[in-house]
A and B are shown apart, each in its own frame.
Chain A
Amino acid sequence: MSVLLAAPKKMIELTVDGEVVRVFEGSTILDACRMLGNEQPTLCYGDTLTPVNVCRVCVVEVEGARTLVPSCSRKVEAGMVVLTDSERVRTSRRLVMELLGSSVDLSTAPDALAYIEQYDAKPDRFGPDAATVVQDVKVDNDLYVRDYSKCILCYKCVSACGEDHQNTFAIAVAGRGFDAHISTELDVTLPESACVYCGNCIAVCPTGALMSVPEYEKRQAGTWDAENETVVSTVCPYCGVGCNLELHVQDNEIVNVTSPHDHDVTEGNLCIKGRFGYQYVQNRR
C-alpha cells in the first residue's frame, strides 16, 4: 500500500532565552517557544487559523532585528537568537494590554485579563476620557449575540467565517483606524446578511464579544455557572460527516456546543445544526 510521504523536513536550531531548541523548518518562533514549554501570550493567534499577527501581544526580540517581531507568525531561521522576556518585550506587551484595556471591555476575556496582571498593565493610565469602542450589544437573532464593546479586532471571527474555514464571508473588517470594526455588508443585521449561523466565529472569539444566546442570557440573569460546567464529547446527531461535539452542560442543560480543535474532522468547526441544533433534546423536558 503506497502512502505518499512529503520530503523529510529540515531541522532548524535557534536560541530562545538562552536555551537551544531544534524545530522543523517552517515552524514559527511561537512553536519553538512551546517546544521549550515557554508559553507566550497570544490573543489573535488561533491554533486552527492562519496567523494575522495583529494584536502584537506575542512580540519578541530577535537579535539583529530593527523592531520586535510577532512570534506567532515569524518563521524560525537558523541561528536566530530570541528574547521573550527582555525589558523591551515586556514594555511592548504591557503597553499593548494597556491600549486594549483602555479601549475595550475585557471583562469576559480571561486570557487578556491574565496578561494585564502578568505584565502589570495599568489600562487606566490614559485617564477617564480615553476613547473606547463602547456600543450597544447587537441582539438580532435567537442564536448568538455580538457585543463589539468587547471586540479587540483580532480578526479571528473574520478568518473563521472566511477562507480559513467557513468560506461564507458574512463578516469583514470595515472602516479604518480606530473606527475599524467587524461588520456585515453595510452593517445590516445578521438575518439580512450572508450569515449561516455556523457559530464558527463564536468558537474562536477570545473575548466573549461573540456569545451564544443561552450563555448571554444566563450571564445577564446571573445564573451562568462556569464552575460547575461539565464537558462531554460525543458525535453530532445530524448528517453522516461525523463531527465531534463537546457538550457544555450546566445543571443538566446544554448551554454551549463546541468541537475539539485538534480533531481532524472538524478542526473545531461545526454547522448550524451541530452548534445550535441540540435544543430539541431539551424541549422534551
Chain B
Amino acid sequence: MPDLRLLNAEPSDAERIAIDAVLGAGNGANNRTARDDRTKRHLLLPALRAAQQRVGWVSEGALGYASRRLAVPPAEAYGVASFYALIALEEQPADVTHVCTDLSCMLKGATVPEGAHPSPCLGLCERAPASYRTIAGEQPVEEQIPAVGPPLPQAGQSGLRLLRRIAAGVDPESIDAYIQTGGFESLRHARELGPEAVLREVTESRLLGRGGAAFPTGVKWEAVAKQQALPHYIVCNADESEPGTFKDRVLMEQDPFALIESMAIAALATGSSHGFIYVRAEYPLAHRRLQNAIDLARSRGFLEGFDIELRIGAGAYVCGEETALFQSIEGFRGEPRNKPPFPVEVGLFGKPTAVNNVETLFNVLEVVTDGGEAFSGIGTKDSTGTRLFCLSGAVARPGLYELPFGATLRELLDLAGAERPKAVLLGGAAGAFVGPDLLDIRLTYEDTREAGVTLGSGVVIVYDESADLVGALLRIAEFFRDESCGQCVPCRVGTVRQEEALKRLAAGRAHEDELQTLAELAQVMQDASICGLGQTAANAVASAIVNLKVFAA
C-alpha cells in the first residue's frame, strides 16, 4: 500500500462485513513483512456499492475502509464515489425511490413525490412513468417500478431473429429451456469453425455496432485478435442509458443466455480469456438473470477457457462511453480517455479490448448460425440484418420492435400506433428531432446519415400535438449538464451555457444573439469535446431549432 494517510473513521461491523464479502480476506501483512498491492482497485465500486446496499449510504468509515483494503488513496476514493449519482455520501433513508423525469416519462406525466429523487431515464420507457427503488439492509432490495411492462408488441410473431425466444416466451432463467430452443448451437458451431473463420463470417456479415457509433464489428474484432499484447478482453457495454432506450434491458432480462453465448463467441474470435458485462445499476432484474445465466453456463461447461464477470454501474450516463466504462471498471472516475489510442490497442487495464453493445452481440449468434453472407442479405446493402427500435411517447403500443433495415419510420410508427405525430426524436437525447416531413425516411444507417439524423441506439420517441417540445429541450439540456463528467471545458461549461440560453429563450428573456450563441456552442462542443457525450450534447437542441423551428419568432 502506498504511504497513504487514511481517514480516521472506522466502518461499522455491518459495513465491514459487506465490504469484506466483496473483497475477501486481507493480504496477510504482519509486523515483520508486508507487500504493497495496488492491483485491486477495480473492486472499489463493487465495495462501495456493497456498503451502500447494506446501510443505505457510503459513510466516512466505509469509504476509509474500502480505501485501506484496496490501497486506494482516500481522496481518489472520494473522487470516484462523488462521481456517481447513485452513491450517497450523506446519510439517507434505507428506502429510496428514484423517479424518472426524463423524456418518455415526462410525456406520461411523471411527478416526483416528497422524499423521492428525480432521475434521468431509467430505461423503462415502455411502461412510463417509471421509477427505481432501493432498500438497504441485510437482504437489500432493488426493484423497477412498475415491475412488469406491457407485453412485447411482437409477441407470438414468427420470423423474428433477435427477439425470437422472447416472442416465444422461453423461460429466461432455465438453461435447459435455452438449450432446447437452439441455445449454444452457435457457440458449438463457432468452436468448430475456429477463430479465423468466425472472424471471416463476422466481417462478411458487415454487421455494424448497434450502440450508436455503427462501427463494423468484424474490423474491431480482427484488430483485437491481431494485437501482440496480452491478455485481450471482451467487454459488453450494457450501460444502456440513452434516454428513451430500453432494448438491451429487454434482451438481458428476457434472453440472458444468448448474451453469454455471444460473448463466448466473441472471446473465441478475439483471443480473450476474460469478459466483463458492465450493466447500469438501475437494471436489477438484468443483474440477477445475467448472473444466473453466467453461473449456469459456467457450471455446464460452456465457458471453458473463458470467464465472464458482471460489473454494475452507479448512475453515470457517460460510462456508456467505452473508455469511460473502462475507467469505471478499473475503479476510477468515469472520465473518457482521449482517443487514439483506441480500445482495440489500449483498452481495459491498458490491454487490447473489444467492446460491443448487447444488441450487436445478439446479432453475432445469427451471423455464426446463418453465415456472414446470408446475414448480409438481410436489410439493405449498407445496413445488414435487423434492428431493434424502442418506441415510447405518444404511441398506442409502446415497446420493443424488431424490423429488418429498410423499413420506413412511417411503417414503424404505424406498427406502434402513432397518430399524427408533431415530432419524433430519433436516437435519444444525443439524437435528433424530425418533423412530419421526414416520416418516409428509411431507417438505415445510410439514409439517416444523409438526412443529417441518426438511428443512435434505436430510440423513437413520439411527440403529438399536445407535447411540450420546449420542455423536452430543457430536459435534454438539463440531462447533459447533469451527466457531463466535467473533464473538458467545452462540455463542462458548454452544457451549462446551453441550458442557460434555452431557459432564457423559454422564458422570453433571450439575449439578442441567443440562437447564434447556441449554434456556436453546438459547433464547438461537437468539435472540441473529448468524447461523444459532449460532441452530441447539442444535437437534439440544434435539430429542434433547425428541423422544427422551435424558437422561430
Contact = CB atoms under 8 A, between A and B. Distances in A.
A–B proximity contact (CB within 8 A) = yes
Interface string B468-491: 000000000000011111111110
A121 to B, nearest CB: 12
Contact of A70 (B338, B493, B513): B338
A9 interface: no
A114 interface: no
Contact of A153 (B482, B486, B500): B486
Interface string B513-532: 10001001101101111100
Nearest to B316: A176
Interface in B324-344: 333, 338, 340
A248 B484 CA distance: 40
Contacts of A179: 486
A88 B527 contact: yes
Interface in B61-100: 63, 67, 73-79, 82-83, 85, 89
A53 B338 contact: yes
Contact of B2 (A91, A131, A153, A169): A169
B500 A131 contact: yes
A127 B517 CA distance: 12
A193 B5 CA distance: 7
Contacts of B497: 99, 102, 126, 130
B220 interface: no
A175 interface: yes
A183 interface: yes
B496 A67 contact: no
B4 interface: yes
Nearest to B76: A172
Contact of B489 (A55, A170, A172, A173): A55
Given A96-B524, A194-B5, A177 B75 contact: no
B485 A96 contact: no
Q: How large is the interface on A (under 10, 10 to 19, 20 to 34, 35 or more residues)?
A: 35 or more
Interface centre among B2, B5, B527 (most CB of A within 10 A): B527
Given A174-B78, A185-B63, A102 B488 contact: no
A260 to B, nearest CB: 27
Contacts of A57: 489
B75 A175 contact: no
Interface in A72-120: 73-75, 88, 91-92, 95-96, 99-100, 102-103
B335 to A, nearest CB: 8
Contacts of B82: 174-176, 183
B545 interface: no
B526 A67 contact: yes
Contacts of B487: 54, 180
A170 B74 CA distance: 8
Given A91-B524, A194-B75, A96 B486 contact: no
Contacts of B333: 173
A194 B527 contact: no
Contact of B517 (A75, A125, A171): A125
B347 interface: no
A102 B517 CA distance: 14
A53 B67 CA distance: 28
A186 B527 contact: no
Nearest to B524: A95
The residue in B74, B316, B495, B501 that gathers the most chain A C-beta atoms within 10 A of its C-beta is B74
Contacts of A125: 511, 513, 517
A180 B493 contact: no
A194 B79 CA distance: 14
A66 B124 CA distance: 34
Contacts of A194: 4-5, 73-75
Contacts of B60: 186
Main secondary structure on B side of the interface with A: helix
A233 to B, nearest CB: 31
A167 B75 CA distance: 12
B467 interface: no
A129 B338 CA distance: 32
B11 interface: no
Contacts of A68: 527-528
Nearest to B77: A185
Nearest to B485: A176
Contacts of B4: 169, 194
B489 A99 contact: yes
Contact of B78 (A162, A177, A185): A185
Interface string A156-196: 00000010000111111111111110011110000001100
Given A99-B497, A169-B73, A173-B79, A56 B488 contact: yes
B74 A92 contact: no
B492 interface: yes
Nearest to A181: B486
A59 interface: yes
B119 to A, nearest CB: 15
Nearest to B83: A176
A58 B54 CA distance: 46
Given A56-B490, A180-B485, A186-B78, A96 B496 contact: no
Interface in B499-517: 500-501, 504, 511, 513, 517
B489 A54 contact: yes
With most chain A CB atoms within 10 A of its CB, the pick from B75, B340, B517, B527 is: B75
Interface string B22-33: 000000000000
Interface string B207-240: 0000000000000000000000000000000000
Given A91-B523, A185-B78, A54 B73 contact: no
B428 interface: no
A259 to B, nearest CB: 22
B494 interface: yes
A108 to B, nearest CB: 19
Nearest to A127: B511
Contact of B493 (A74, A100, A170, A193): A100
Considering residues A75, A91, A126, A171, which has the most beta carbons from chain B within 10 angstroms of its beta carbon?
A126
Given A99-B493, A194-B74, A177 B482 contact: yes
B528 A92 contact: yes
Nearest to B527: A68
A99 B95 CA distance: 40
A152 interface: yes
Contacts of A67: 526-529, 535
Contact of A176 (B73, B78, B486, B493): B486
20 contacts: A53-B488, A53-B530, A54-B488, A55-B488, A70-B338, A92-B527, A95-B528, A99-B493, A100-B489, A100-B493, A103-B493, A130-B497, A169-B75, A175-B486, A177-B484, A178-B484, A183-B79, A185-B67, A185-B74, A193-B5
Given A103-B496, A177-B483, A185-B63, 11 more contacts: A53-B338, A56-B490, A56-B528, A67-B528, A70-B338, A100-B493, A102-B497, A171-B75, A175-B83, A178-B486, A180-B486
Interface of A: 53-57, 59, 67-68, 70, 73-75, 88, 91-92, 95-96, 99-100, 102-103, 125-127, 129-131, 152-153, 162, 167-180, 183-186, 193-194
